[in-house]
Amino acid sequence: MTMEELSEEYAQSARIVYHRMRELRRKEMCSKSSEERGHLRRRILALQPLYRDAREISTITKHYYHTRSKANEPTTKD
């Protein structure tokens, strides 16, 4: 598996988590029970770091080779 393929896997995971968070937010907004809203809010909060991390890792792995080749380029002095 290449880093670009790994990047797409993480991006897909981020999309899945994002859609789940949206679904939970809709349920939270429609809920009449404050107990249920609190439960849904905690579930949403638990998913936020997973979403953020998956997006970040996707970006890092997508540009991994580009970043590494840039770091290895010799600098020129004018």
Distance from C-alpha of 20 to C-alpha of 7, rounded to nearest angstrom: 20
pLDDT tens digit string along 48-71?
A: 999 999 999 999 999 888 765 565
pLDDT tens digit string along 7-51?
A: 999 999 999 999 999 999 999 999 999 999 999 999 999 999 999
DSSP label at residue 45: H
* Domains in the chain: boundaries: 3-69
Which pTM was predicted? 0.78
